[in-house]
């Protein structure tokens, strides 16, 4: 597992580097990149924001491991995770109002203080103290994803009067370097956890100086700004009206809820699955982030083409990945069907399985037939992606139900090889 993790990390990193270099050579610099005043303003923002992001990522690889190190049971660890997620949701609802009332700069400094306290709570083995730390972490996360962006947009437009069209360029670059910081943070977490001698708590201690420096730079270099305060009830009512009145917003929210809920569950599950086999958690985390960076690079390459431009190479690679997934799916599903469905009922159950299967396929083909070829094809792939996300949710649900069932473990090599149905 150790060798596999490092090989995967190196391979993914090399792929990301190759894609980014080819993209940079092919894309000419934009006019925003050549403006000295804008670059200085960006740098002032990035110095603080990137330190905050680095401190956040540094803690991620060893959170579950730390709770295991304190001899908490899986159920107790799950409650700690739920507490963190719940506090993020609750504080996220009031974060905008809080940021407007305190000021964006002050809110960023408050983030540095609350997240530092959150890290300090990790030194305690008391369960209640750790719950308080998770609540502080939820508050900090809500501030991280509201105060910094709000401060930048206000300064960009109101104080410096830069074109609003340049704002996406800043956050696109921030998103790229956020992935890079996550990769580096995983390696750094592995190093400090192994070398400092504090064990799994070391990354949390190492994050505190980064947070302190971020707060100090914000105090020294940033100007304060406020915005017109809006009643919390009006904010919630306006958001709900927008959600229910625009079908696109509702569908977008559904997709986000389905996909990101799987990600949150995955964050909880990956450590107990890999850690017993001696996986270097920091390197594994960096590999995950490198894979995410690779996906972002592929997205930027795909969207850099002009609208409607054909991309057969990318399509071919995507189709190969689909068939790779099929090679994993069919034998796995055959094994699970044999174990889960009683033999006497398999025919009847499989008939019912095929009803929604063929119905969805027929509806999809009808939608494709009634649309323009290119538009219909793109829409169909989008629908297929959404269906795959829902299937992934079902897989996670099945895993949580049967994860301790010995009969559903992978088949041994002695079993008869599977021949897929045609």
Predicted confidence at residue 189, as pLDDT, reads 93
Of the segments 11-15, 165-169, 196-200, 220-224, which one has the largest average pLDDT value? 220-224
Name the residue with higher pLDDT: 378 or 58. Answer: 58
Residues recorded for the chain: 422
> Lowest-confidence range among 2-11, 47-56, 154-163, 236-245?
236-245
Structure token digits, residue 214: 């971020």
- For 92, residues 6+ apart whose C-beta sits below 8 A from its C-beta are 141, 142, 145, 146
Checking if the pLDDT of 26 tops 70, the result is no
Q: What's the pLDDT at 229?
A: 61
Q: Report percent pLDDT > 70 for the chain.
A: 68
Task: Answer whether 61's CB lies under 8 Å from 189's CB.
Answer: yes
* Least confident span in 93-102, 208-217, 245-254: 245-254
Check residues 303 and 189 and name the one with the higher pLDDT.
189
Residue 388's pLDDT band (cuts 50, 70, 90): confident
**pLDDT band at residue 363 under the 50/70/90 scheme:** low
Give the separation between CA 2 and CA 281, rounded to whole angstroms. Answer: 10
For 197, residues 6+ apart whose C-beta sits below 8 A from its C-beta are none
Q: H/E element holding 268?
A: helix 247-274
Q: How many CA atoms lie within 13 A of 323 on its CB side?
A: 6
Predicted confidence (pLDDT) at residue 377 exceeds the cutoff of 70 = no
d(CA 242, CA 258): 19
User: Would you state the pLDDT for residue 114?
Assistant: 95
Residue 421: is its pLDDT beyond 50?
no
| Cα 340 from chain centroid (whole Å) | 32
Helix axes 74-102, 104-121, angle to 10 degrees: 160
Distance separating alpha carbons of residues 244 and 258, to the nearest angstrom: 18
Classify residue 103 by its DSSP letter.
Answer: -
What is the distance between the terminal CA atoms of the chain, rounded to a whole angstrom?
36
DSSP annotation of 145 reads: T
Q: Dump pLDDT digits (tens) for 113-171.
A: 999 999 999 999 999 999 999 999 989 988 998 889 889 988 988 888 888 888 888 88
Q: What is the DSSP string of 60-97?
A: GGGHHHHHHHTT--HHHHHHHHHHHHHHHHHHHHHHHH
Tell me: pLDDT of 358 over 60.
no
pLDDT at 416: 44
> Comparing C-alpha atoms, which of 239, 232, 59, 227 is closest to residue 141?
59
Contacts of 82 (CB under 8 A, 6+ apart): none
Would you list the DSSP string of 358-417? Answer: HHHHHHHHHHHHTS-HHHHHHHHHHHHHHHHHHHHHHHHHHHHHHTT-GGGSPPPTTSPP
pLDDT at 105: 92
Are the C-beta atoms of residues 126 and 73 closer than 8 Å to each other? no
Binned at pLDDT 50, 70 and 90, residue 176 comes out as confident
Q: What is the 3-state secondary structure (H, E, C) of 299-354?
A: HHHHHCCCCCCCCHHHHHHHHHHHHHHHHHHHHHHHHHHHHHCCHHHHHHHHHHHH
Q: In angstroms, how far is CA 99 from the centroid of its own chain?
A: 24
At 419, is the secondary structure helix, strand, or coil? coil
**The pLDDT value given to residue 206:** 94
How far apart, in whole angstroms, are the C-alpha atoms of residue 385 and residue 392? 10
335 Cβ partners below 8 Å, 6+ apart? 410, 411, 418
Q: In Å, what is the CA distance from 61 to each residue of 1, 178, 187, 204, 272?
A: 16, 16, 10, 10, 12
Q: Is the pLDDT reported for residue 106 higher than 80?
A: yes
Q: At what angle do helices 167-195 and 36-59 cross, to 10 degrees?
A: 40
- At 51, is the pLDDT very low, low, confident or very high (cuts 50, 70, 90)? very high
Alpha-carbon gap, residue 23 to 59, rounded angstroms: 31
By the 10 Å C-beta count (0-12 exposed, 13-18 middle, 19+ buried), 312 is classed as exposed
In the numeric block, the tokens 């997709």 are attached to 255
Q: What does the pLDDT read at residue 230? A: 58
Range among 75-84, 125-134, 363-372, 393-402 with highest mean pLDDT value? 125-134
């Amino acid at each position: 597992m150790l060798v596999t993790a490092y090989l995967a990390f190196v391979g993914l990193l090399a792929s990301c580097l190759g894609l980014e270099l080819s993209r940079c050579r092919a894309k000419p610099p934009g006019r925003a990149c050549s403006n000295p005043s804008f670059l200085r303003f960006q740098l002032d923002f990035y110095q603080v924001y990137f330190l905050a992001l680095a401190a956040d990522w540094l803690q991620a690889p060893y959170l579950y491991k730390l709770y295991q190190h304190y001899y908490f049971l899986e159920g107790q660890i799950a409650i700690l995770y739920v507490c963190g997620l719940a506090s993020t949701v609750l504080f996220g609802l009031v974060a905008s109002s809080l940021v407007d009332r305190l000021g964006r700069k002050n809110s960023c400094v408050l983030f540095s203080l609350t997240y530092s306290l959150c890290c300090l709570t990790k030194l305690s083995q008391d369960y209640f103290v750790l719950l308080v730390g998770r609540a502080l972490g939820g508050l900090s996360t809500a501030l991280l994803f509201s105060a910094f962006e709000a401060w930048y947009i206000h300064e960009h437009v109101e104080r410096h009067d830069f074109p609003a069209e340049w704002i996406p360029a800043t956050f696109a670059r921030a998103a790229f370097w956020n992935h890079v910081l996550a990769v580096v943070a995983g390696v750094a977490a592995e190093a400090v956890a192994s070398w400092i001698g504090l064990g799994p708590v070391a990354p949390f201690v190492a994050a505190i100086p980064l947070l302190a420096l971020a707060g100090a730079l914000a105090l020294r270099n940033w100007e304060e700004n406020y915005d017109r305060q809006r009643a919390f009830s009006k904010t919630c009512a306006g958001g709900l009206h927008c959600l229910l009145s625009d079908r696109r917003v509702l569908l977008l929210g559904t997709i986000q809820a389905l996909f990101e809920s799987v990600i949150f569950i995955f964050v909880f599950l990956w450590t107990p699955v890999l850690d017993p086999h001696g996986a270097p958690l920091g390197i594994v985390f960096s590999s995950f982030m490198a894979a995410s960076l690779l996906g972002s690079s592929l997205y930027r390459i795909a969207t850099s083409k002009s609208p409607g431009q054909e991309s057969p190479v990318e399509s071919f690679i995507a189709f190969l990945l689909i068939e790779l997934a099929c090679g994993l799916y069919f034998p796995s599903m055959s094994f699970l069907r044999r174990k889960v469905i009683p033999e006497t009922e398999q025919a009847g159950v499989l008939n019912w399985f095929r009803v929604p299967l063929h119905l969805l396929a027929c509806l999809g083909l009808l939608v494709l037939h009634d649309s323009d070829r290119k538009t219909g094809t793109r829409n169909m792939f989008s629908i297929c992606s959404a269906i795959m996300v829902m299937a992934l949710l079902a897989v996670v649900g099945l895993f949580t139900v049967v994860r301790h069932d010995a009969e559903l473990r992978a088949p041994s090599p002695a079993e008869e090889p599977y021949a897929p149905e045609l």
